[in-house]
Every structure is written in structure tokens, then in C-alpha cells.
Structure 1
């Protein structure tokens, strides 16, 4: 099937193309043109002067639309994928929380099943295991009952049971964590530091042993800290100092206010920053009571002021952001140009996850993951591998 998207401003890795044309065939981009193309037998989509960009890639998301990946059902996986596609996400990395091993293994099995049946939402890029190897003092909303040090017998069993693990987050200062990082690196799995008390010397050693991504920078990690009157650079400053380390940020404007969004952008630049939602089940839902993690044994939270909070309101408990909100925040709060904001939610996360040859830019030969949005970053259409999965005002296009 051919699809022609025209009359829009194309955002390519190199330039803006006003009144450009994007031609899609068999799920791939086959032409990116400055002029209108006369194509027969194509479904035509009029972009109506809006922006046409690569689909958004969210590499850290727990849920949405009232569902969580830890719910233990295929329905939850598929509903989350469809929910986030409405906000421009065309690919995502389902993320777990600390849990019992049997629940984790069940979630990994469900991933395989849901991945095969996921035809109406954002594509899955593999699982992200967030925990359970964390520093207890930096656990945030992670359940303390399941937090522990890396155990080779355990993680080798998990890795043997599933080939779908794409990234794993852990605190690198824990006993056994460096060996764990090397194990992940050998298997081509992204090792990320998270929920950690590590200081610069420990982060640098972790980086040398495979940890090349900082999970939700600032959240669940130390900044400058004192130990016996001496100051140490925390994980935040370490991520800034290590040029080759990538960072992800929850750019909802709440987890990180405007000054911090500006600071991260100024130091790391768009090629090292991935915007993430870290969304829990309440994303795309009205405010009120919700549950972080599994409905069976998850944590009760309150959604208000655009964020999920612990019931006593002492800490955030995950975001309810959607991908288009991240772009909007970076433009409006951090004063980042639109192409760079888009890069941080497309090309950069694609590279981090090792799918840059297939996704992340409007380039001939890549998957036709495309999003059309207006100047306020309201999503008009989302296409996943050339299939329309969302239209704000369904028209079906016109056939020529």
C-alpha cells in the first residue's frame, strides 16, 4: 500500500521542508521531497500545513489509559500501546517495577505474546527492567519489599528465560553491580544507572563496566553530597562530566522545572538526551486515585497537579505525561528549538536503543513511523510502519 503525506512541514535530520511530500510504501519511507509528487494508487493525507515528524520513541514507560505493564494481562500491554499512540508515540519500551521474580517472569512472557498481537498501537522495542537492584535510600516509589543486591543466579535465570530484555536499570555501587553491568553489555542490553547513591568515582567505574545511560536524571539519585565533611559529585554531576554518558529526563515540567531542563540541555545537548514520559497507568486519564504497578499488589497514589504522588504527598510516584507534552515543555519551558526537541524524542532514543538504522528520522529506507502535529503539539495523525493507528478527526484520506 502507498501513502502520500503532503502539504506539511517535514522535519528531517538536516532541515525543515515546507510544503514537502513524504511517500510511504509497504511500511517504509520511499521518498522525501521538496515538491508535490504525482503518485497513482496512493492514499493521500493532507497535512494541512502542520508539522510532519518522525514518530516519538519513549524508552521508559510503565503504563497509560488505566493500565500498567505489571497488571499481568495482554490486554494491558495492547491498551497502553494504543493509548500512547494517540499522543504521537510510535515505539516504546515497556518498563517494569520492582516485584517478585515470578511476577517479573510472567510479565516477560506476556511481552512476547503481546508483541505478536500489537497491531493498533505503538510498537514495542523490548522490555526495560527497572530494578530490583537499587539503593534502598533512593527507592522513591519502588516497593522496598523487593529491593536487593544483584544476584547472578537470579539475573542469569531471568536473562535465560527471555530474549526480549532491551535495557535494565540498577544502582551501580551495589555489591555485584559491576559484574552485572558487564553481563548486560556482553549481551547487547543497555545498562542504566538508577535509584542510586553512587558518587563520581563509582559512576565512572560503572561507565567503564557498561553503564552508559542515566535513568530519569535527577530523580532517584544524588547531586553534590557530603561525606564526613568532604564534598562529592553525585550521579547527576557525574552524568554531566562523562561526555559519553546518555541521560533521559522526565520533561513534564514538574519532575524537572524549567531551570533544570535548561541546564541539562545546555550541558548534554540534544544528541545525548532522551525525553521520556515515565508514565504510569494514569497517563491519558482524569485526576484522582490510581495505582502504581500491578493492580494486585501495587502502590496506591494520588494524581493531582499533573503528576502522580505518594498518598502522603512526600514524593512523586511517576508521571502522567504523554510524549507530545514532553516536546511542548522543552519548547515552552526550556526554550529549545522545535527540531532539537523532536531529536530528543526520536533520533537520540533510537540510537540509545540500537534501532537508529530503522527508526528515528524521516529518511528513505527507514520504517514509516510518522506523526503529524500542529504548532501547539496537538497530535493530528500517528502512523506506525505505514499504518494509520490514530487520527484526531478521522477522514481516511483520499485515494488517487
Structure 2
């Protein structure tokens, strides 16, 4: 267990306010939050590792619930090394918890990735905590596949998904297109097994989404990306998935807030309509995140798609679609502050408490509160990461790099 730590002289970002003071960490948990006037004399904390935050920000650790890779690795590589290196890479940028995400592929390849996850969770690592697996696909609309491999897109298969869910308890969320044959029964089965049902890569209309919501779909994967808006069929206009996301209050919406996938007018529109309580920032990062690569692979090395990295985003080689982001969570925060023009406390909520609530871990993570995991990020006044702590262990210090 890491030595007890006192962070002091910090601007602490709480759920409703920012205070000057310090945070005591012991046995991997937040032991107390101390106002500045109680820290005039530090002698009583001689038994702690003392870190002067120098009036920088102390934030809850960032939680990324939709991420494919980073540091030159992808979860679809299907190896323990890939999981470990991705977790280490993103910890450098403030991510203290993440949900590894797959791509549309064969059942065999999915199982390789799921098996690797089960193995790597058995021992400690010096990176972000893993919260379970997100299966993105293969039950998608071909017309909205984006960079998903069309060879493997198919309708929900009960024999397939029931077998996977029975075998791998690490599956915590699954994204699918709700208009497909069998998608409603699939959603019901997910909810019955305490798995988050999310809508993605879809050409549904509002009525399809309404039915999906009634059976338990409650999250929209990378809002606006690979989903329908207003469409016309035989001269009649129909509201699409985007409009449903706005109209059905219960939906949380994921935002790839890299400043490329969603320009600032859309960020501001989403904020105006959905509000800060229902917005969840995600990276959707692929393997080139945290690297200087200009050519990369989306998916596994042996069966993935070669992509370009330019303009701060990954693209298909013909530039007809984005192919995931190369963002890190600290970039999401800066984007929402600078382009979204959103208050800091609300931006931090979107990358901490909101994703914790969506993933049902809000009792352990997502805020600086006594008894919660000591997942902490220190940010300078330009919102660059200085320290990352995961469950009481410092896994990144900027000044030692």
C-alpha cells in the first residue's frame, strides 16, 4: 500500500465549488478534505508524504468510458501488454479509470480481447483503473458504420450475445443500433444482466429510439457521430437519433470533445439543451493517442484498418470519415473550457462524476469526497497534468518525465 499523502496549498475542485486547502490520502482512499486555515502548520502531518500543489488545481481523476487505445496499442491487439500500456499512457494525461472498448470484429477476436482483460485485472499496474469492457458492435447499421469494418457488421444474434454475456462478467456496456431486427430483445437482455445498453452507428428515427428507451437503452455513444438526424422518407420528415437524444431527457450523451468531431457551435448547443448533468466527455481514442504517429492502425495490427492522423484526428485513408480520435482526457477539458465556454466545475463534472454515475461507480469514484478512491489529478493553470494518482498511488509526475 502506498505511503499516506497530504496534498496541500491546492485549489480543490469539489462538486459544487472550488476551495483552497488540502486532501489527505490514506490506504488508497480520501481520508479528509481540509480547508486552508487548518493547514497553516504542517508539523502534525509529519508522517505523510507532503506535496505542495502550489495553488494549482486538485481535481477528481478523469474517467474515460469509451476508449480504444493509445501509446501505440489497441485493445483489439488482444494482449495483456496492450491493456497495460494503454492504461499507463492515458494516466499521463489524467485518466484514472477507463472502460476498454472493442470494435466490430469476429466473435473469436472479441473473445481474445475479453480473455486478455480477465487476465490483466488479476495483478496490479501503474496506470488507469479498468472498469469493465465496452463492446462497440458488431450490431450496427451498415449505412452508419463510419470506420467500423463492414465485413463483420450484423444483426443481434441471441446465441452469440447470450453466450458472451454468460462467459464474460467483465462486459459492462454494449453499443448497438436500435432499429435492427432483434435489437429491442437484445437491449432487454442487456438490462436484465445489469449491462448498460447504448445507441450507436444507427440510422434509426425518433420512434425507433423511443421504443429502445422503453426497453432500457439510456446512453448515446459519441453523440452526432455515426447517427441520424432529420431525414426524409417519401417526402415526409422524420426526427432522427440526434433529435431523440435532445427530446428524451433520460438519455446521457457522450461527446468526443477533441474540438474536431464536434465544432464549438454543437458543443454549445448540446450544453444549452442537455445541460451539464447529462453530458459525458470521452476520448474515443485509438492507438495513435499519446504518440506522434501520422499513420496508424485502427483495430488490431493483423486485421485492422490503416488510417491517417492529421488535423488532430484519425481519418480513413480516403478521408471520407473520421477513424477515432487521438485525444486524451486533459485535451477534452481544455476544449470544453475554450470552445464550449463552459464553467470549470461543470466541465470537470462531465469527465468525473457523470461518467462515474453512468458506469454505476459513483459511490467509489468521480469526486473528492471522504471514503472514495483516491483518484486525483493535479492540473496547472493551463490545465496540463502535473500528477496523476490512482487509488492512492502516484502513477505519473510531470517533472520526472
TM-score range, shorter chain: over 0.9
Q: 2:137 aligns with which of 131, 136, 143?
A: 131
1:30 pairs with 2:36: no
Q: In structure 1, what is the equivalent of residue 8 of structure 2?
A: 6
Structure 1 stretches (4+) deviating beyond 6 angstroms? none
Distance 1:48 1:151 in 2: 55
Describe how 1:122-201 pairs up with structure 2 within 5 A.
122-201=128-207
Q: In structure 2, what is the equivalent of residue 16 of structure 1?
A: 18
Contact 1:56 1:91 in 2 (8 A): yes
Q: In structure 2, what is the equivalent of residue 52 of structure 1?
A: 58
Q: What SS does the aligned partner of 2:268 have?
A: helix
Contact 1:287 1:304 in 2 (8 A): no
Give the unaligned 5+ runs of structure 1: 396-400
Describe how 1:1-400 pairs up with structure 2 within 5 A.
1-18=3-20, 20-35=21-36, 36=39, 38-394=44-400
- The alignment yields a C-alpha RMSD, in angstroms, of 0.9
Distance 2:322 2:124 in 1: 31
Give the unaligned 5+ runs of structure 2: none
Distance 1:148 1:90 in 2: 34
Contact 2:307 2:317 in 1 (8 A): yes
Deviation at 1:40, TM superposition (A): 3.0
Distance 1:28 1:94 in 2: 24
Q: What SS does the aligned partner of 1:116 have?
A: coil
Deviation at 1:118, TM superposition (A): 4.1
Distance 1:265 1:118 in 2: 38
Deviation at 1:112, TM superposition (A): 0.9
Deviation at 1:288, TM superposition (A): 1.1
Contact 2:16 2:345 in 1 (8 A): no
* Number of equivalences: 394
Q: What SS does the aligned partner of 2:249 have?
A: coil
Cα deviation 1:319-340 (Å, max 9, x = unaligned): 0000000000000001001111
Distance 1:286 1:300 in 2: 16
Contact 1:248 1:276 in 2 (8 A): yes
Q: What SS does the aligned partner of 2:212 have?
A: helix
Contact 1:327 1:341 in 2 (8 A): yes
Bigger Cα displacement from structure 2, 28-37 vs 304-313: 28-37
Distance 2:381 2:347 in 1: 13
Distance 1:147 1:118 in 2: 35
